Structure 1
């Protein structure tokens, strides 16, 4: 009852790297459970810094009734883009999981990898659902060549989404080159660096940047799919011209995301066509003559689903580190 485990990043990474298809299924299931009202997913909480407007630390609390267990928890994730210039990853995170019978914490997991994996899996879930209506051509353009972009590309490839030609653009040319090399060497696909227009020419586009405000005003083409993971790359006019798919409408309409800016411009949410869960279930389909813009704000319940899977795997493998007597008092008197 009072056990407490720690799962270090190296262990987390190994489990995630061998489990991409399973994680995609877990994330899809979590979306459907969220759509069915079997989760609690309050707003994310942002700790911001007046002298560092591009940096933040975010708390994502959540609870979920998963297939095998009920669990609660919170992800505490820092995004400091300035780390990149020092050769450090932009994001760092931990995930605390809680038992829902007692409320006691049961584990602490290094969670930057978990966060990247659940983000990539959400993109793969959406891409798979949209592909039923917009057949992928195999050309994938990526804006922003960091960990998230690398993980998304890997998940798309490993789950069978066509990816024969990849074009990468990043303001840092070295990063773009490294992601292109990863695609060639690790995934065995053709890849090259390109400018923004070359990326936007692709049938499937992934934006994974740290942009604070929109800079892309080029409309989506009919038959084009954009996975708008970084959320702030497209002007509201582009949003209004697309079929818009969100993970959770209420969550996405804040923090000046591209859909939020479109809401501010129009005063309504009529431009939202449905959620990822509704497209997975076939309850919504893309509008004829429009490209599809998927904007996933990111739900804490996805972190719980992936985190619980990682914890169970680590416990089975004997790689979770038990912390004896973690709790100072285990009886009331």
Structure 2
């Protein structure tokens, strides 16, 4: 295991990242419950967005996948399994598995639809009668994290495909009457700089959470960040070693929260309060209600609790609703003050 780590490029430890609590919390909650629907991270240049996203992927426990399967199929969960693996199981064949790091896939801005979804070799299909599928990034990202930097500059059509796959957990490629469908469950993380343009409200609404990143103003904190980075660049492995214990603790907490999530309850009265807040804020549709319920349960599981409390809702509701308030594409995203105001009125 150590040999593999030494051969790969060292990743800055997640627990060594100073500040940016909104972004860190959003990522952790999406990892605990991927059905929250991903996170959109908007903020200034040079605030460690990419570093933090790579760090959370590196922190996660390894996953068990089926040998020689291009979709990272799960050996027992039907929802995370390709049709080929399902057929092998139904025929009673023994399936070999091995453990890999959680896939962290970058979507480049210039990517085409074929690169994203995959392609079918029509010639092989017609001549040899076999479905020769060349997997795209959605196949490689199954059970992992798909990261789109500068998502606000990505073609709207591709963003639609991404969000549809993230929501349904499946990707279907159809060409000339031939169809291939495969699992595509991933945590979608988008980042961008508001100065370069905003996403349309309809697309923004499809992201589960929205974290705002601001440049740290406190001089002593800035020095701490600079020193931490310099130390890592100088000797990455000793820096990783220094934070190993904290990394292991956080990893254990996340695994525990993932196991506990299904047992966490949220009281009916609290659900009503969440919906009341969404109603007062005039949030379109029910995504805001659903995501806030999910995020509150994930946060409670993260705190190792069986019941969601008012404090859990307060901790996540701004992240879940602030990007759903825009009705006009020319409006700026509310920084959270409007949400906080209503939350305080209802929850206090």
Q: Give TM-score, length-normalised by structure 1.
A: 0.29
TM-score by length of 2: 0.28
Compare the two structures and name the one with the higher strand fraction. Answer: 1
